[in-house]
Amino acid sequence: MLSNLPRLSLLLALGIVGASCSIAQTLTGCWTNELGSTAHIKKVEDGTLRGFYSSAVSSAETPVEGELIGFQVDIEQPTFGFVVKWTSELVRGSVTVWTGQMFGNDALMTMWLLRSNSSVKNNWGATRTGMDVFRRCIEQCGSTDGDGSERKCDPSKEGS
């Protein structure tokens, strides 16, 4: 009986570690907000988020894209923050930051700040603020159709 005690202790310890790992949710995947903008997030092991973002709304009147990097705290209903450095020519020099929390497995409640490049004289109007709610998409962002074109996340096919 005593010879099984170390094995039982190891199994219990592994069970506890396994249970605690399953609590954390992940932001990895495709997300869309109420305006049809999409975030494709890939989670790196250390909690670093990387991906790309496509905004359906901009002063350019066409979708604009940018690189996404951020961090996720691996807890139940994780908190996170990410920055998008806009790479589209018409909004180059601007960055947007989002911070928020994941609720359930399919809702990201966020607040954001958009900073545009400006002169000191126009500094007062160079930062905008807002809120977004992102929903997980069923369709995978960044996947391609048969013709090689990129398929964007369809807001009408949100996760439940």
Scanning the structure block, which residue is given the tokens 């160079």? 126
Distance CA 7, CA 24 (A): 27
Is there a domain that residue 122 lies in? yes
Residue closest to 99 by CA, chosen among 123, 125, 134: 134
Strands (E), 27-75: 29-33, 38-43, 48-55, 64-72
Is there a domain that residue 13 lies in? no
Query: Whole-model pTM?
Result: 0.72
Is there a domain that residue 119 lies in? yes
- CATH number where 119 lies: 2.40.128.30
Is there a domain that residue 116 lies in? yes
Residue 142: its pLDDT value, please?
Answer: 57
Residue 107: its pLDDT value, please?
Answer: 94
Confidence of residue 24 (pLDDT cuts 50, 70, 90): low
* pLDDT per residue as tens digits for the range 32-62: 999 999 999 987 778 899 999 999 887 667 7
Is there a domain that residue 118 lies in? yes
Residue 158: its pLDDT value, please?
Answer: 44
Is there a domain that residue 113 lies in? yes
Expressed as residue numbers, the domain containing 56 is 27-157
Is there a domain that residue 5 lies in? no
Long-range contacts of 136-142 (CB under 8 A, 24+ apart): 136/29, 136/30, 136/31, 136/105, 136/106, 136/107, 137/29, 137/30, 137/31, 137/32, 137/38, 139/30, 140/29, 140/30, 141/29, 141/30, 141/31, 141/38, 141/39, 141/40, 142/30, 142/40, 142/52
Confidence of residue 124 (pLDDT cuts 50, 70, 90): confident
Is there a domain that residue 125 lies in? yes
State the total domains in the chain.
1
Distance CA 128, CA 114 (A): 5
Confidence of residue 12 (pLDDT cuts 50, 70, 90): very low
Residue closest to 139 by CA, chosen among 150, 124, 128: 150
